Structure 1
Amino acid sequence: MDKCDAITTDINHNDQCFMGRLEKQREAEQISSMTNRDNEYTERISEENTGHTVTRTHIILGIILVIISNISYLGSNWLLKIFDIRATEVGSVRGFSQIIMFSLLYLREHRKTEEKTKMSCTSIVHLLAYGLLMSSCSFACLISISLMPIGDLIVLAFTSPAFTVFLAYLILKQELTLLKIFLSFTIIGGDILVVQPPFIFGHQNSQELIPTNFTDDDFISTEEVPGHNTNYFVGAGLCIGAALAASTAQIYSTKLSSIGVSNNILMLTAGTFNFLFSFAFIPIIPNRLLTGEGLSTNGYYILPLAAVLTIGAFWCVTLALDYLRDPTLVGMLRSTEILFSLITESIYDNCLPNPISLTGSTVVLICVCCMAVHDGLQRSVLETINRIKKEMQLERNNESDDEE
């Protein structure tokens, strides 16, 4: 009788262990099935939102469009520098072109859209702030073109992600990670290597003062500064200010986009402020189109060409985002403009870049790329860690069942 009870107890124990393992196996299968369903649902929703599946053709076209935009932006800067086109002249033509073009696009969009976006007073203030900041950024960069090398200008302009990280944390309450902080300060370190301020790098050979487009015969200052002249540091300050303005404008753009404000309205507002700025700065930077001096024959051709290149570059980036559906990849590809600027600068000056400046530019390029992939990389790492934890937990459960 005791033997029968013992056998019955063993059988029941084995049945319980078997049922426990079977139940855990079912739980694992349910988790796997739920994960697959979530992935399929995410892919389906993504496809519905994007309107198309990103194919290899879309990827190739998107990459080509971003490269074209980089060349267009850079080409526009070089044309303005070589043919001495002033900031007020560019701003008036570019701003007027933006107003006409994006007004027509907005009217077309407004007719097709059934649901009209109603903007509150706060949103209108944000929209005006966006236009003011974008115009300030544009004019600061245009003025800097005649004050410093194009390569340095591009590198300093790409410091905006370093400011965006902290502004997004303060205003949008986005997560601030140690990696983002490290990359931001590393970008600033790269900029220091590019600019090479004399209080850090000591005295170097003085350079000749660069004429500006404020007047034909005057300079900002006749005081020489070791290493770089006064004009260079004024241009560097303007570029850093432009990067800060662009970062703040990006925050406002994110807020406005979240309530349904279209890119056409944003570009129309920025174009309007550009046009107004071109007249506000006339006492400081005379506009030869209005003062009667006139431009050279080449200048009349170059000015509208530069405006078309800039607007075309913007549209190339917009189309690239539509094709790729990946702002991270677009951001990384846009940063290759730093490389293009260094190459063109070397060809223009007929000499290799300064090793310290080249190192700083490379550091900025790498950090901008890392900043672009930061969120995706962090997400992948967390998913991998969670998957490993689940697998280890299942192994422990199986081992404990085997021991029983």
Structure 2
Amino acid sequence: MRSCNSIVRAFASLGHDLANVRTNGHLKEEVYVNQLDSFVDPYHPDKVYRLKKALYGLKQGPRAWYDELSNILVSKRFSKGSIDPTLFITKHKGDILLVLIYVDDIIFGSTNPNISKRFEKLIHSKFEMSMMGELKIFLGIQINQSPRGIFINQAKYAQEILIKHGMTSCDSVGSPMATKHLDTDLSGTPIDQTKYRSMVGALMYLIASRPDVMHATCYCARYQAKPTEKHLTAVKRIFRYLKDTIHMGLWYPKDIGFELTAFSDSDHAGCLDLRKSTFGGIQFLDYGFHFDKIPMYCDSKAAIAISCNPVQHSRTKHIDVRYHFIKEKGIIELFFVGADMFTKALPEERFKYLVRRLGMRCLTPEELEVLANESV
């Protein structure tokens, strides 16, 4: 999802659908199949065929296809993502082209439309494919492109899970989580685990474009083993919040730079049951911030002191050498900031204030249509 967001965030994004992808990959392993009933060699009826290429239903098929496409892109001077190997990147004279593959679907975007056209011709020359045009949906994520920016949300999916779990006529609330801590309810009334897990699982997919419900969803996910009525009420509160924010999503404005800013927060033994800590972080890319170094805002003064003070090295031998290298190069600069919304439940007013600062907007289909029809 993060790779998908990175592609659509700043460029006019396009999509391709490839045909018969499983049969394009060359096999490295020796795989044999029986002769077809209608094509048995009468002189060698007991022999079998050795496959040169993958077939549908073959477990090596997806990997063989990925290797085939990867080799082609790497030979064309694309670099493969170190964290996400399905993301390929190439640069040309200050412009960049990002390509993301998911089985037989390819989405790509570039700062230069001509580079996108050249890539399209390259793929057409190698594989049978259909052009889907401007990217509008990918893996259930709706993508709306306009001259002013790109809006990503999952309104359709949110509506589907509200209907599935019977929450379309519920009373709405202004925040997804009550400020009171949720904990194990040993004396509570047990509920159906399958229903509870289904609701939590549905929300887990939604948080790809809804960071505002991430903390509440992850908190409820801790109690899937023995959920009670109290935990079900907490999950239903998230659905009640979704009802009035169904069109909420991530807004990526255009033409405002390409800087990276990071925020990090962690509580200390905040879990009332196991005394484990909760961590949350967010990164802003191309969001109008301008810095010489990558600023990272952290609510721990001790962590900042260890990172910035050379006399603290005796306490940080457990930290990998590569992170010390980042500090020595001065790539990241640390600043202190108060706690954010990823480690604790907040009052409604403060919560809504921070949601806006996350770059989230609530845009209806009518508002998106107006944006799409605006002139550049």
Q: Which TM-score bucket, shorter chain as reference?
A: under 0.3
Using CA pairs under 8 Å that are at least 6 residues apart, name the structure with larger relative contact order, 1 or 2.
Answer: 1
TM (norm. structure 2) is: 0.22
By percentage of residues, which structure has more helix?
1
Which has the greater radius of gyration?
1
